[in-house]
Structure 1
């Protein structure tokens, strides 16, 4: 029997909310250097763990699937869930853009099945769905990863190559005279989200620092805080000279806040390890906190899929300002998205029960 890891539910919910915050503070890309921009940079740095932690949780739960079910069942369970959500919500948003684009802040379109297929295959309906396309690819290669992940040394070797290729080389190139100086040494097949996917599984499978997890809490916390501060300050240092000090506009440089780069990697792993070390506290919870968190965690994928629709719609009716964007809008969007996800899951459950009840 698999023991439920409550810290993953907590991280899943926090990451889901973090995604909403990230997409509510995209004013950073305007790069104006005003107070709202500074606050948004801080929030972007603080919540940038969202996608990395999502990938880590997926890897932790899925790479070892062979101990629970066959590869056929794995594909049936996982691909169906993500693919149906991706197609369903993409079609839903596309139809809304045909019916009420102005009212919902969507691009106006005239319904065409050919156009929908073309936009769907190029991720032009809702660009934040790139995560779902990425996770689908990771699912497709999971049987390959599972074949060597049971070998600790081989897994460590693969993770090492991933970290060097994805995080270390770009960071080193940032300070090199030629920004492509070390790129030739990056392994093209072990770059990107696969890094977090493998790390998540490694942490859960081989439990590093397990014997000293509580003692390591301050270390993980300090590492997380230092990473966030470094990300925010370096992002500000990089962008301000090109905007505020120069008096001219320049494109936003998010190198230090890029989810694949070294500062975010350190932050995400530290946060994951910190919450993992608190699992005993979550397991000993005597109240309804964990039950609520587990329920919210089960809705997180639908929340991710629908939250942009509420962001776009609210943008039509509410003017942007620092208080709304940074302090209110994320909670409003998250609440609406949770309500939508809850109703949707309730309808799905009702349909399943109805089919089962039929003679």
Structure 2
């Protein structure tokens, strides 16, 4: 199946946003200095990135049965993600012990570090993605004629019980009873269903505008709320953060919907040309860019709080990572370690 243009564009933009967030890692070092204000802005602007990857999985994989069997589905998915994850997790362990001059206490510590992504914490994304892959064969058994209502129902109930209710309880200082959750759509499946729903069903202009307004509201709530509460508490406040929280769900949904509904052929063509050279690289860039970001921080190549570094460094690290991945992809022995 030929990848839809907007999916290609979103994949590359989300990858660039991920790199930007990690280059902007000083966000997690709260300060009353001016740099933290710009760090919060960059963090919030780019926060849609990870949810977009889960949404792309929903848009591209839930109809896999039309193309191949479930056995082939697992072979393709885990061959492109599980094998690279394991290889790079071993590399991350080696990196950790060399850079920090530490010795593992035993194989148990190494296995624990890999399974719980302690060496490279950004690899948390892959176990979450594997869980989504395991659920897709079940979701794909739902007949297409029922999916609009069933998936729409699941999205709505999840949003109310897993995102909105916990946030409201948190703001009211009330403990949320997790027994009211939505186990049928646990983890990051909400984004998988959202990606499929937006990709397959059309919304009227009125409803698109409502969602765009909600997305803007979610973004502003995350940006302003984080800014105010963090300044008040003297630490990074995560009340309005977390990928499965109301602000991020609204914001990410609006971003995905916007790109899906770009009608300007000239703009779409321009974005397609700009992103085409990177269309097979996002997962590879995700795997390797961490080491460049870490080297800058460890060896103090640039001041990590510098706005110039956080903007131009993002572009440079993205491009260097892209070139690195492209080179590794053409080396037969190493190819399996770099998904395309």
TM-score, normalization: structure 2?
0.88
* Among 232, 240, 246, the residue aligned to 2:231: 240
2:92 corresponds in structure 1 to 93
Deviation at 1:294, TM superposition (A): 2.8
Helix, strand or coil at the partner of 1:298: coil
**Which whole-Å CA distance do the structure 1 matches of 2:87 and 2:223 have between them?**
37
1:246 corresponds in structure 2 to none
* Among 165, 171, 182, the residue aligned to 1:187: 182
**Which whole-Å CA distance do the structure 1 matches of 2:327 and 2:263 have between them?**
30
2:328 corresponds in structure 1 to 344
Residues 313, 146 of structure 1: CA spacing in aligned structure 2 closer, same or farther, 3 A cutoff? same
* Among 285, 289, 300, the residue aligned to 2:282: 300
2:171 corresponds in structure 1 to 175
Q: Determine if contact 2:20/2:311 at 8 Å carries over to the other structure.
A: no
Q: Determine if contact 1:41/1:232 at 8 Å carries over to the other structure.
A: yes
Question: C-alpha offsets along residues 245-291 of structure 1, whole Å, 9 cap, x if unaligned?
Answer: xxxxxx42122132211111111111111111116627973x7x524
Equivalenced residues, count: 332
2:141 corresponds in structure 1 to 147
1:355 corresponds in structure 2 to none
1:203 corresponds in structure 2 to 198
**Which whole-Å CA distance do the structure 2 matches of 1:164 and 1:94 have between them?**
40
1:161 corresponds in structure 2 to 157
Structure 2: 5+ residue stretches without partners: none
Structure 1: 5+ residue stretches without partners: 244-250, 353-359
1:332 corresponds in structure 2 to 316
Cα RMSD after superposing both structures = 2.6
Deviation at 1:111, TM superposition (A): 9.6
1:79 aligns with 2:78: yes
Structure 1 or 2, whichever has the larger Rg, is 1
Q: Determine if contact 2:116/2:124 at 8 Å carries over to the other structure.
A: no
Describe how 1:241-280 pairs up with structure 2 within 5 A: 241-243=232-234, 251-278=235-262
